[in-house]
Amino acid sequence: KQEVTQIPAALSVPEGENLVLNCSFTDSAIYNLQWFRQDPGKGLTSLLLIQSSQREQTSGRLNASLDKSSGRSTLYIAASQPGDSATYLCAVPDNYGQNFVFGPGTRLSVLP
Amino acid sequence: KAGVTQTPRYLIKTRGQQVTLSCSPISGHRSVSWYQQTPGQGLQFLFEYFSETQRNKGNFPGRFSGRQFSNSRSEMNVSTLELGDSALYLCASSLQPGQGNEKLFFGSGTQLSVL
């Protein structure tokens, strides 16, 4: 059964810092991984989708990498801003590739 | 292009009642998935619909059901509500079913409180 963990659970940093969020999954036979952002009481916004054949994806100040063999992905946020404050979740397909299994998320606070 | 629309935004019910939540996917998207989000369990998959057919279902009791209409709009129903059903219910749409190479687009959710 696919399981996803994320560390740290919460992170507080001053504005301008570069930071890394970590995601681990137990079954490496995945064909993609997505990173999402969720603001309090709201739905999720897809940030990056990495295919299994890719090693990383970039969008603006965000860069996500995928290492299937080790069952890990990292989300790198450059020059963090207060507007980046949110919960970040990663998700991978379940063992049948039919729905996503989500991690518990990392709650990020960027202080001005 | 309008995003995924969920109604209502908030609901307050009492134990034993039933509730129906609605989701309109992005135009052209034919797959709709439902997720339950609670502080203790996180995001858990409920079910997925494509072309008016349930493709798969998560590990939830039969009190949770859903359907999809010919215009791809979906509803989920929870009968005999329990306190533990209090949660944020999220709907997501994608072009195709399964999670191959499809991005998921989420609605803002329906916050259900059971008293």
Residue A75 CA to residue A34 CA, distance in Å, equals: 10
Nearest residue of B to residue A31, measured between CA atoms = B100
Please give the pLDDT value at position B50: 92
Please give the pLDDT value at position B98: 64
Tell me the nearest-neighbour CA distance from A30 into chain B, angstroms: 9
Q: What is the residue type of A51? A: Q
Please give the pLDDT value at position A53: 85
User: Which whole number is the average pLDDT over A60-79?
Assistant: 95
Q: Which of A51-55, B13-17, B74-78, B80-84 is predicted least confidently?
A: A51-55
Please give the pLDDT value at position A28: 81
Find the CB nearest A42 among B43, B103, B108: B108
Residue B63 pLDDT class (50, 70, 90 cuts): very high
Helices (H), chain A: none
Q: In this complex, is the C-beta atom of A96 within 8 Å of any C-beta atom belonging to chain B?
A: yes
Question: Does residue A103 have a pLDDT over 70?
Answer: yes
Q: Do the Cβ atoms of B99 and A89 come within 8 Å?
A: no
- Sheet containing strand B19-24, edge to edge, reads B5-7, B19-24, B74-78, B64-68
Residue B105 pLDDT class (50, 70, 90 cuts): very high
Tell me the nearest-neighbour CA distance from B39 into chain A, angstroms: 9
Q: Do the Cβ atoms of B88 and A96 come within 8 Å?
A: no
Residue B67 pLDDT class (50, 70, 90 cuts): very high
* Radius of gyration from C-alpha coordinates of chain A: 13
pLDDT digits (tens, 9 = 90+) for B26-36: 999 999 999 99
